Homo-oligomer: A and B are copies of this chain.
Amino acid sequence: MNALMTFHLALILDLIGVFFFAVSGSLLAARRGFDLVGSLLLGSMVGLGGGVARDIILNTGPPSAFTNPIYLAPPLLAAVLVYFIPGNIERSARLLLTFDAGGLALFCITGTLKALEAGMNPVAALLLGVTTAVGGGILRDVTANEVPRVFDPKDLYAIPAFVGAGLAAALWHLGWLNLLTGTLAAVVVFGLRMLSLRFGWHAPLAARSWARPRFRRR
């Protein structure tokens, strides 16, 4: 695949990922009683935070979120949508998880892709993809004074991101990465995450022999 196509692929998937994560941030802002400006700010932090961290770590100049104004459109759209959304707080919990899963699915692909484009080795690219994917959500939850969702032991969160980053790195090296295969990889990640929520798939606890401590989000 040539560099221009890769660039467009990464940009399109990246913008959709920013939108999904921004909706999750604006929904959390609404649930916690923040105002419209706080909704825009938290949505921007979640949507753009992971990518800004990625670009700072890649060290290839100022992060795209600051130099390319198109990145502001998804958080603005997300804050407006959440403002007008009919519904209630209970329904928003499921919506938040769904949009968060969408952001996770796209960012593990685009993060890995951007790192490979910048000349990183495959292991580093995979790690940076996962960092991009889980970073925004950690920022969202820590800012709203909650334990990040990625640490909730009742379902899988980081493992789907690792799978997606691995798929992206493999497709890239085989030269098979395009909008279709990239989207398919994202669908796999999204499916894994949603199925783990539905069926309670989970990983073993951090310490085998201890009495199970109770996990609390706040």
**Contact surface of A with B, Cβ cutoff 8 Å:** 26, 29-39, 41-42, 52, 56-59, 61-63, 66-67, 69, 72, 79, 82-89, 92, 120-121, 123-124, 127-128, 134, 138, 142-148, 150-151, 153, 156-159, 202-215, 218
Contacts and interface: CB of A to CB of B under 8 A. Distances in A.
A35 B88 contact: no
B63 A30 contact: no
A47 to B, nearest CB: 13
A147 B207 contact: no
Contacts of A30: 205-207, 210, 213
Given A142-B142, A218-B145, A83 B29 contact: no
Specify how many copies of this chain sit in the oligomer.
Answer: 3
A78 to B, nearest CB: 11
Interface centre among A146, A150, A214 (most CB of B within 10 A): A150
Given A36-B203, A82-B206, 17 more contacts: A30-B205, A30-B206, A30-B207, A33-B205, A33-B213, A35-B205, A36-B205, A38-B151, A38-B206, A41-B150, A42-B151, A56-B56, A57-B63, A69-B123, A86-B209, A89-B210, A143-B147
B57 A121 contact: no
A147 B147 contact: no
Contacts of A210: 30, 87-89
A121 B62 contact: no
Given A33-B214, A38-B150, A38-B153, A62 B206 contact: no
Contacts of A211: 88-89
Given A57-B56, A62-B59, A143-B142, A35 B121 contact: no
11 contacts: A30-B205, A30-B207, A34-B205, A35-B151, A36-B203, A37-B159, A58-B62, A82-B206, A83-B204, A87-B210, A138-B143
Contacts of A123: 69, 72
B147 A32 contact: yes
A29 B32 CA distance: 25
Contacts of A66: 57, 120, 124, 127-128
